Structure 1
């Protein structure tokens, strides 16, 4: 640019008012004088600077022109400072195309926005939505979300998922239940980032809170099941914390919580149990049952809100009636019954009337509660009876469900409505358990679920006495009727996982220890093994070990044999020297007493027990106890009656890295020789493996290379163990 051009443009920018100050100068002189003020109004920025906006509209136009040039030159860490300017301009700018550009800038302001930056953008979007109304939100903000639904950065997709929820209250209702719902459904099914799907679930929950189209119920139900089956724990957690409570609130409004939602889940559970008689899909069962469990608080709220006394509830401001432990801890505020009802004051008033109604006036005319008593509970109890009692995970799941149901509905309800229905089918008598007719209810999962899910809900003396009495009756009845003990074992395993119940279980077992029937004493002996693991050494020493020794003092071989696994568990879990010495003496007495010489079942039980506990037992105690057990003679005698079982014992015992050379040479190798001698008769084709196992340790031990010997020994034993199933068949054929 030359000198004169610059001067002319500079003077043109001055107003005539400014030139009045030079009235004594000629115009030519004025221009020449002002040419020394260098200005750049010829550039884009110079043009913006030279014309100051003098109205609201001109300000918006100026910001619309300038912001696209400002944003790229601001540090990423500071770009959120531009959000107010961008939103204000986009809100007030008169031209739709420019508004679209500005909102595009907003959603692309930061390449990978962090939590705080996303929250700032969302706050701005909500402010924009409140100001412009539903029509412009649909036309201007939603397209920005749609454009980034498949963005390569998960942070940007996360912004989209969160925006759908944040904008839901400000969208036209038709768009909420169509376009936005479809967007979120697509992201839930396709997005690979856990954090995005988690945000999708939360936004879907908000949509469910505002949706008013009953035809969308089926779609919402399928979305619930889809998200519950998500592989990410954080997604599933969000479903229970937010989605299910929101969906339940909508179904309550529709009147379908009890008529559609809960029955649909129960139907799926029943279908699953029918299809999985042999191989149950435990994961799907968990999905359905966990959803059902999350519906307990809204179900109880429905019962309260539709009770005969609801209209009489008065707010007094007194909430002391609600005990801290009255309800199970909610997974989120949305699962808090007080939140669902509206306030703790209202809940307190309703609970007082609820307990009084149950105790004094009954359930006449109370349709919502009658549905729980007459339809839900019987169906659940029937389902429980069809669960495989040996599936510890299923037993645990249903136990926790009934525990939450009983705690939520209260003690009076549990005592008067739940317990009687279980007791009606669990009639405890010898004739009631007849395993030949297929109606052996005491052998089903009903027993452990009632014991651990219902009878443990409350912990007063009368509650504990009822639990003790029930377990004693079950133990007696099953024992005397020669029924399978799986239901009793499941009860002990579930209760034994909580140290709070160890004393109680030992009380039940002592009842069995002193029972007049050897069958009951034998059952008690076997139950000890299930509760000793995890029990304090002091309790084992003070109560469990003396009870086991008492059982060993009786005349019945079957009872004594039944104590061996429990003694083995003590060997495996206890470190107290005096207690271990007593166990060693007891086991030694079994083998030293001549009356046990031909008791092959006892020998086999000791072999199995040593094979199980050997790797974990205290090394010195193990090395002392194995020689005293005369291990190789036991194997030789017992092999004829159950040789296949011996193969599992040798690898377990020899895998202990600290077994001494003396024990290996003097006890395990003689045992192997006995096995080889019997194999020559029972299974000649496997005698070669045993010969090789014996030969390698002998050669290396004589050269003091014990470590190498053990390695080779275990390798050979692995070959033999691999053939265990085939060997078992061989032994069965040649008995």
Structure 2
């Protein structure tokens, strides 16, 4: 409907002739309006049939501009009209509708339809939902119960008269959508819910409201806040009533809203009651006169003044005088508010116009206008004409108002031909003008169009142009018809349009909008619009992927660079804070990354307080590893910009939390970003050597003191890895505080740094050259560093003296407290010392590190005694020195030094009968690197040819550790010959020591020739009569068979291992000494237990495995009844297997059941085995029956 209300509406109380006239043209409609308002030309069937008891209804047709005359004329016509002798059907229908006999009127309408004589009055009345927008029982001449006759007064605007007015149009009221107007059955899949039954009396208004409110063309556009609130209530209603699938679909279709949190609708907005409560409470509310005016008539603010005298004359029909008085008071106050708002908007529009003119005046010197001389007079002429027209049209009724506004703009064809209509603010509906700023009345570069040499009137031109299908009545039409003439206007237009564009762009392509949103948010003058645009930016994509987040972050940084720290704090940070607890990790990830990206552009107070607190909260509370990883990286960036010393302790606590995070991703990010950045700040504060490193060392010492019965290796790794990551920062500090630092100038040719000079850093922040500033500067400092150490010493070099006199002694002391059998701890400290020595250089390692270790170890044969077994050689100092210090450099002299050290340790430990754990740890750590295999074989060959049997025995046992990692070529060429040499050693202990190494070869090697040589050697041990009574040899062979048997080559196991175990079990039955017999039986029991899990053929089971178990059971019956129970179970299981193979079952299910029973028995047996110890009492407890 046009704003002016002229055209398209039909009033049920007008005759058919008037309605036909209304439908002819807009001009005839205006004439009908004038005819009605002047009191002439009324149809007898409509005006004469008006009830004399309803003067208010007649008065409703009066124009506000002439209230006295129009009302008097209308009442006079209503009272003195003559009633015709024969009433027409149209008059009867009008009377029925006036007296609210709606069902009778509906019956009449139905019968006329059936007879083919449709009455337009009834058709239009029942098709107009505005006739039913009141509570039931209210007469049509009366509006809301609180204000009698308000409906009639509402029609006084002359645009949308009420039902009883004499205007020429329908009451197309724009109603506010309520819950009872939602026609759920309309969209239901259940066809049975739609009935053809006749509508009951109380259902007529509801049905009409449903039909009306479901028509989109007359529904007011919903506001974003209203939409989000209704979405939330609808989803809540669906969940409460178990429409879960519908709720899920509804949530997916509104993916930009969080339905679990009301605050997502809007901050500081109270939550309304649920839908059911709103529906039940709807009937208790009364529609005020203001609502009827705004909705039904759409009158403007300057027309509201006419309502007060009319309301004062209304008879109190339904309500008490007090209610009417209160309503009138409210009405007056609301009118005042509306007038003030109108004045406010007009002043704001004037301000904008003046600003545009100022911009134009400022830039006119730089513009080159292309305006003809003939344009300006026509503009002046048009302005005079507009002023004259405004005076002439001041008394024209409101039905003409909207159209005459457009006519004003086309009075002169010069205006039409030179300046588009959109340059005139009056070309838009008033409410459209108030909602958006107007453009400048004169463009910087006005375009001149050729004028036709014609003498057509402006009215004809306007009528002719009206056939162009253009519209400025909608929001989009208004935007399209108005072209921005300045940068500011462009920004304002984008700010208005973007919120409507974004929801309609595909999710996969929304990142294309980021530049547009950011540019608008940067330059838009309104803070609220900027906030809305940034909110759209952070909610642009439901779950942004890595590339999309990078785009958003890039935009945020560009925004921050453009607007400065104040606006970043005020506009961007709140968007981050809102999403800190978002349900999607991708959104929280965006927040965490934003904090780091925006850190350089924030005020330093905010950076070290609010942002730091946000990141700390996310680190402690967020469950997503990716989010915490991003938090750590952002914390590292914050540490690079923070300058508040009071935050040092908080940073240290965050560092410890990050190092102890259960996620490996977070820990890696800590070492790569957070720790180097924090170390740089610590260095600036002077706390690296005074607090950070000593604190970590103290924590390691505390762990070792408390971990005598069980060391927390995870925490040890955490602290030691942190120390390792601090080595580059420590070395950079040493260089920067060196006596020669002031001499380090870049001049001439810069020496090159060897590629292998430093260990490979974990990240660029751990690169010493990055910390120093450049690789060239580092090269100069390294040259001076090496010269200083080699020729001038460390006098006066406080930072390096701290490393030599405090750090190294404390580290070596800690190393001596480590359990040497803990492979992980040895490896960690070995890597630490390796990095320390490689970073500080060869000269430092040879002159400062090695002497301190050598002073403690004191490797000389003079120190060999029985008490040496408890000395430093048995501690972790040996493997860490060998693998962490002596392997740093691989020149020939370094290799010789390592070989000599290992030979000396092996000799000293062997001769002093000390445990070999430290030597074994050295071999295991070095054996993991193939580059040291030849070196280790050289050390072992030294032991093979040593004069002492103790050393040869130690060498034989070391071969077992080395075989698994050495390739088969070295095994064949170096290991097996050495073992065969030892296997013929005069000392029986040396020969016995080779058995585990031979067993390991059988387990790992696949070369047939090697296996045969080993098999022959082991067979000689078992079959040679000289070894028949060698209890130690038999024990070692049985232990080796039990260890390697399950993994050895099957043929070797079947042909050699199991038959010889059977023989050893038979021999053990003849053993006289019970202690030896029990020891052999126990080892046999463990070997048979391990082999029982292997596949054993039926012949082997019958001939060797079962007989061996029976022999073993004989020993256990006398020596260990607890073991005898398990052996009996094993024998029964093996016999069952044999029976299942020999006796063919007719059904496969029996075999399956038997195998399941077998597996169950095996599982129980192994569980029992895991609980066994050598203690007889403990064994008895295992098999004690539960009571």
TM-score, length-scaled by structure 2: 0.60
Quick one: which of 1050, 1063, 1066 aligns to 1:619? 1050
Q: CA deviation at 1:123?
A: 1.4
Offset from partner CA, 1:140-162 (integer Å, 9 cap, x none): 10000000011111111111111
Matched, 1:524 2:962: no
Q: CA deviation at 1:10?
A: 5.5
- Contact in 1 for aligned 2:635/2:674 (Cα 8 Å): yes
Aligned residue for 2:352? Answer: none
Aligned residue for 1:676? Answer: 1113
User: What pairs up with 1:235-384 in 2 under 5 angstroms?
Assistant: 235-316=666-747, 318-384=749-815
Matched, 1:662 2:1114: no
- Contact in 1 for aligned 2:864/2:911 (Cα 8 Å): no
Change (3 A) 1:405 1:185: same
Aligned residue for 1:633? Answer: 1066
CA distance in 1, matches of 2:786, 2:498: 65
- Contact in 1 for aligned 2:870/2:914 (Cα 8 Å): no
Q: CA deviation at 1:649?
A: 1.1
- Contact in 1 for aligned 2:1173/2:1179 (Cα 8 Å): no
Q: CA deviation at 1:13?
A: 6.1
Return 319-328 or 54-63, whichever deviates more.
54-63
- Contact in 2 for aligned 1:86/1:103 (Cα 8 Å): yes
Q: CA deviation at 1:448?
A: 0.4
Quick one: which of 449, 460, 473 aligns to 2:891? 460
Offset from partner CA, 1:157-177 (integer Å, 9 cap, x none): 111111100100111111111
Matched, 1:417 2:417: no
Offset from partner CA, 1:11-43 (integer Å, 9 cap, x none): 566695334658733343333223222321111
CA distance in 2, matches of 1:509, 1:546: 12
User: What pairs up with 1:207-222 in 2 under 5 angstroms?
Assistant: 207-222=638-653
User: What pairs up with 1:394-433 in 2 under 5 angstroms?
Assistant: 394-429=825-860, 432=863
User: What pairs up with 1:173-192 in 2 under 5 angstroms?
Assistant: 173-192=604-623
Aligned residue for 2:87? Answer: none
- Contact in 2 for aligned 1:430/1:481 (Cα 8 Å): no
Change (3 A) 1:689 1:159: closer
Return 661-670 or 57-66, whichever deviates more.
661-670
Matched, 1:645 2:1083: yes
2:1105 alignment partner, SS class: helix
Matched, 1:477 2:923: no
Change (3 A) 1:432 1:140: farther
CA distance in 2, matches of 1:261, 1:67: 52
- Contact in 1 for aligned 2:672/2:765 (Cα 8 Å): yes
Change (3 A) 1:34 1:361: same
Aligned residue for 2:974? Answer: 543
CA distance in 2, matches of 1:713, 1:478: 49
- Contact in 1 for aligned 2:751/2:780 (Cα 8 Å): no
Offset from partner CA, 1:92-144 (integer Å, 9 cap, x none): 22221111111111111111122222111111111111121111111110000
- Contact in 2 for aligned 1:651/1:717 (Cα 8 Å): no
2:724 alignment partner, SS class: helix
Aligned residue for 1:728? Answer: 1174
CA distance in 1, matches of 2:827, 2:1068: 39
CA distance in 1, matches of 2:707, 2:494: 66
Offset from partner CA, 1:298-333 (integer Å, 9 cap, x none): 111111111111111122464553111111111111
Q: CA deviation at 1:397?
A: 0.5
Quick one: which of 363, 383, 389 aligns to 2:820? 389
Aligned residue for 1:86? Answer: 517
Q: CA deviation at 1:421?
A: 0.4
Offset from partner CA, 1:265-314 (integer Å, 9 cap, x none): 11111111111111000001111011100001111111111111111112
- Contact in 2 for aligned 1:297/1:337 (Cα 8 Å): yes
Change (3 A) 1:116 1:11: farther
CA distance in 2, matches of 1:588, 1:647: 21
Unaligned stretches of 5+ residues in structure 2? 2-6, 8-24, 27-399, 418-450, 1144-1150, 1181-1187
Quick one: which of 690, 694, 700 aligns to 2:1127? 690
Quick one: which of 83, 95, 118 aligns to 2:526? 95
Q: CA deviation at 1:348?
A: 0.8
Matched, 1:18 2:449: no
Return 363-372 or 80-89, whichever deviates more.
80-89
- Contact in 2 for aligned 1:647/1:720 (Cα 8 Å): no
CA distance in 1, matches of 2:1091, 2:673: 52
CA distance in 1, matches of 2:966, 2:896: 21
1:728 alignment partner, SS class: coil
Q: CA deviation at 1:667?
A: 2.4
Quick one: which of 995, 1005, 1009 aligns to 1:574? 1005
CA distance in 2, matches of 1:317, 1:147: 56
2:935 alignment partner, SS class: helix
Quick one: which of 485, 488, 491 aligns to 1:60? 491
Aligned residue for 1:491? Answer: 922
CA distance in 2, matches of 1:692, 1:397: 46
Return 677-686 or 330-339, whichever deviates more.
677-686
CA distance in 1, matches of 2:409, 2:1068: 112
Q: CA deviation at 1:694?
A: 2.4
- Contact in 1 for aligned 2:1122/2:1179 (Cα 8 Å): no
CA distance in 1, matches of 2:1097, 2:1036: 24
CA distance in 1, matches of 2:1178, 2:485: 103
Offset from partner CA, 1:515-557 (integer Å, 9 cap, x none): 1111111111111110100211110010111111111111222
CA distance in 2, matches of 1:504, 1:279: 35
Aligned length, in residue pairs: 733
Change (3 A) 1:575 1:425: same
- Contact in 1 for aligned 2:869/2:914 (Cα 8 Å): no
Q: CA deviation at 1:601?
A: 1.7
The structure that has the greater radius of gyration is 2
Return 338-347 or 112-121, whichever deviates more.
112-121
CA distance in 1, matches of 2:578, 2:872: 59
- Contact in 2 for aligned 1:138/1:171 (Cα 8 Å): yes
CA distance in 1, matches of 2:939, 2:810: 31
Q: More helix by proportion, 1 or 2?
A: 1
Aligned residue for 1:442? Answer: 873
CA distance in 2, matches of 1:97, 1:605: 85
CA distance in 1, matches of 2:706, 2:509: 59
CA distance in 2, matches of 1:14, 1:466: 105
Change (3 A) 1:731 1:92: closer
2:1127 alignment partner, SS class: helix
CA distance in 1, matches of 2:632, 2:639: 10
CA distance in 2, matches of 1:57, 1:703: 93
Q: CA deviation at 1:602?
A: 1.3
Unaligned stretches of 5+ residues in structure 1? none
